[in-house]
Amino acid sequence: MRNFLVLLGPPGAGKGTQASLLCARLRVPHVSSGELFREHIRGKTDLGKHAQGYLGAGQLVPDEVTIAMIRERVSQPDCSRGALLDGFPRTPAQAEAFGKMARDLGGDVRAVVYLRVADAELIERLTGRWMCRAQGHIYHVQTHPPKKAGHCDLDGSELVQRDDDKVETVTRRLAVYHEQTAMLIDYYRNAGLLLEVDGARPEAEVAESIAAALKGRLD
């Protein structure tokens, strides 16, 4: 049985931060749609060239392209037990397609963890975020600084800022979230899959709340 879990929440809610902790615990792959797009952009693939403008503008990549990319990824052998999805689905069409995709693969969407954080906090988080160039480990200038300035604690690589973390693009990404993604909270609540977690608390406390909310959900 493939168990698919989804982390839902606005940009900067802590989806990537919590996904790393949760994937290590559950031993399932972390499938981040944003990271997959950034890999394609770095690799200068046709998909990357198509997606680049959308990411730079803080807009969503069209559904058809995004759904095909995720279908290809979750069909890989390392997802045979399931996967944790971060940043996908993000529209009603993606959510419908994902439910069908999961069932076609002999699995199901077992739970959707919604990380709730207010917009003002999100802007602080994203404009202060640094990520390591080698593997995308996540830091923050105030709440999670690296031990050695400018370098990743885990692999020593250089820390860089994401192009779409400029304040204007962050504002656009938040507006897009409210217009096109926030409606999935009700979609998954009505499906009985939503687990709501206060994402404004410190990272370790959020991780504990997610673990508690998931208890019994994955048996």
Q: Looking at the annotation, which residues are catalytic?
A: 15, 90, 129, 162, 173
Binds ligand AP5 (CB under 6 A): choice among 8, 22, 88, 210: 88
Window of 85-93, 99-107, 152-160, 208-216 that interacts with ligand AP5 by CB under 6 A: 85-93
Nearest approach in angstroms of CB 26 to ligand AP5 is 17
Distance in angstroms (rounded) separating the CA atoms of residues 112 and 137? 23
Distance in angstroms (rounded) separating the CA atoms of residues 67 and 7? 16
Residues 135-164 that bind ligand AP5 (CB under 6 A): 138-140, 143-144, 164
Distance in angstroms (rounded) separating the CA atoms of residues 59 and 174? 10
Binds ligand AP5 (CB under 6 A): choice among 2, 33, 73, 84: 33
Distance in angstroms (rounded) separating the CA atoms of residues 5 and 31? 10
When computed from its CA atoms, the radius of gyration of the chain, rounded to whole angstroms, is: 17
Nearest approach in angstroms of CB 219 to ligand AP5 is 27
Q: Is 116 helix (H, G, I), strand (E, B) or coil?
A: strand
Alpha helix positions (H), the chain:
15-26, 33-42, 46-57, 63-74, 92-104, 119-127, 167-176, 184-190, 203-214
Binds ligand AP5 (CB under 6 A): choice among 48, 50, 52, 54: 54
Torsion region of 99: left, alpha or beta (phi above 0 gives left; psi -120 to 50 gives alpha) = alpha
Q: Which is nearer to ligand AP5, 67 or 219 (CB)?
A: 67
Q: Per rule CB under 6 A, is residue 116 in the interface with ligand AP5?
A: no
Tokens at 28, concatenated = 């399932």
Binding-site string for ligand AP5 from residue 57 to residue 76, where x marks contact by CB under 6 A and - marks none: -xxxx----x----------
Residues in touch with ligand AP5 (CB under 6 A): 9, 11-17, 33-34, 37, 54-55, 58-61, 66, 87-88, 90, 94, 125-126, 128-129, 138-140, 143-144, 164, 173, 202-203, 206
